[in-house]
């Protein structure tokens, strides 16, 4: 029953997550307002998280069929998953650092071409992900596994390095984000960083919390000293937090960002319900602007 439940979670979150992540890419490609460095980084995060979601599907297959697999075979399947799980953690941190760049180095930030900036930002995630993947290949063995996911596919010592380094980077993200919140509360900021901050605020919080729960849950279960079979079952159930982490970004952005919302409604304006909602929002916007202009004239 536990196997079927986990497999169903994987399939459901894949549908929701891939729909959302693909829309981040489509909306960025279609909308001029979303063609900026921060949005391009958001696309890189969406690609990484989509690959993480897709990489959970073999695990769902093994769970539904009741198949067992050796660590060596499992790791060859999930190695891309390990790489992009590492990459997405660093990219989320860089999305926060991106706001620091806009605030404190605006001239340099706007001077660097978008392609060059993106390339520079992707070098550290690539190095980090490649290092963990290489360590995983060096420590493969033929131990039989009931579940095929990164924490179990990686040899225990490598899995520990993976989880602790992820927690460390996650903590850096939280610290940087708290500093940003303090900065924004102390003084008024420019429109661009304020807009990005609003878009990222809830997303960063949910990302870090869900990723912490997944990583620390796996470590805690290992540290408590459960029997190997029970520990594997408990660790496998931590996947719900990872799936939440990979799937939530688009929906929170849609809630928080007017630019993404407008682009989304424009994309789906062929659907009658969406078209009606879009027209209603336009009327509200026109009325609001009219009242704002009249109030300014009265002064």
User: What is the rounded CA–CA span in Å between residue 277 and residue 27?
Assistant: 18
CB 264 within 8 A of CB 28: no
User: What is the rounded CA–CA span in Å between residue 168 and residue 15?
Assistant: 30
| Secondary structure of residue 287 in the 3-state scheme | helix
Q: How confident is the model at residue 192 (pLDDT cuts 50, 70, 90)?
A: low
| Domain spans in the chain, listed from the N-terminal domain onward | 2-271
Q: How confident is the model at residue 158 (pLDDT cuts 50, 70, 90)?
A: very high
What's the CA dihedral at 64, 67, 68, 71 to 10 degrees?
A: -70
* Per-residue confidence (pLDDT) for residue 183, from 0 to 100: 80
- Smallest CA-to-CA distance from 89 within 162, 33, 186, 149 is with 162
Count Cβ atoms below 10 Å from residue 292 Cβ, excluding itself.
10
User: What is the rounded CA–CA span in Å between residue 17 and residue 48?
Assistant: 12
User: What is the rounded CA–CA span in Å between residue 54 and residue 45?
Assistant: 14
2-271: CATH topology is: Rhopdopsin 7-helix transmembrane proteins (1.20.1070)
Question: Which residue is it, tokens 């995983």?
Answer: 136
* Chain segment 214-269, per-residue pLDDT in tens: 777 766 766 666 666 666 677 677 788 889 889 998 998 888 888 888 899 888 88
Question: Which residue is it, tokens 């660093």?
Answer: 90
CB 2 within 8 A of CB 64: no
Choose from 115-129, 193-207, 216-230 the range with maximum mean pLDDT.
Answer: 115-129
| Inter-helix orientation angle 191-224/156-186, to 10° | 150
Contacts of residue 141, Cβ cutoff 8 Å, sequence gap at least 6: 70, 71, 72, 155
* Chain segment 72-97, per-residue pLDDT in tens: 999 999 999 999 999 999 999 999 99
pTM (2 decimals)?
Answer: 0.84
Question: Measured in whole angstroms, how far is the alpha carbon of residue 271 from the centre of its chain?
Answer: 28
Percent of the chain with pLDDT over 90: 40
Question: Measured in whole angstroms, how far is the alpha carbon of residue 257 from the centre of its chain?
Answer: 16
* Per-residue confidence (pLDDT) for residue 298, from 0 to 100: 47
CA quadruple 258, 264, 268, 274: dihedral sign:
negative
φ, ψ at 271 (rounded to 5°): -80, 125
């Amino acid at each position: 029953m536990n196997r079927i439940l986990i497999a169903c979670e994987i399939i459901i979150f894949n549908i929701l997550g891939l729909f959302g992540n693909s829309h981040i890419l489509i909306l960025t490609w279609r909308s001029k307002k979303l063609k900026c460095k921060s949005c391009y980084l958001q696309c890189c995060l969406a690609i990484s998280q989509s690959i993480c979601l897709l990489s959970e599907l073999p695990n769902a297959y093994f769970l539904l069929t009741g198949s067992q697999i050796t660590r060596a075979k499992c790791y060859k399947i999930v190695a891309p998953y390990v790489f992009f799980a590492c990459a997405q953690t660093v990219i989320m941190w860089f999305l926060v650092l991106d706001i620091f760049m806009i605030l404190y180095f605006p001239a340099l930030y706007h001077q660097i071409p978008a392609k060059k900036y993106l390339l520079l930002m992707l070098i550290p995630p690539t190095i980090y992900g490649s290092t963990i993947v290489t360590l995983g290949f060096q420590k493969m063995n033929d131990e039989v596994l009931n579940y095929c996911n990164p924490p179990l596919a990686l040899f225990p010592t490598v899995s520990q390095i993976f989880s602790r380094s992820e927690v460390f980077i996650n903590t850096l993200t939280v610290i940087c984000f708290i500093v940003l919140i303090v900065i924004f509360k102390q003084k008024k900021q420019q429109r661009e960083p304020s807009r990005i901050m609003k878009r990222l605020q809830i997303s960063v919080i949910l990302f870090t919390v869900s990723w912490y729960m997944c990583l620390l849950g796996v470590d805690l279960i290992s540290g408590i000293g459960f029997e190997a079979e029970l520990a594997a079952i408990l660790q496998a159930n931590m996947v719900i937090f990872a799936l939440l982490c990979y799937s939530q970004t688009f929906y929170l952005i849609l809630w928080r960002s007017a630019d993404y919302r407008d682009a989304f409604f424009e994309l789906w304006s062929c659907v009658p319900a969406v078209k009606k909602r879009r027209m209603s929002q336009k009327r509200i916007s026109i009325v609001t602007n009219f009242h704002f202009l009249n109030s300014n004239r009265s002064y």
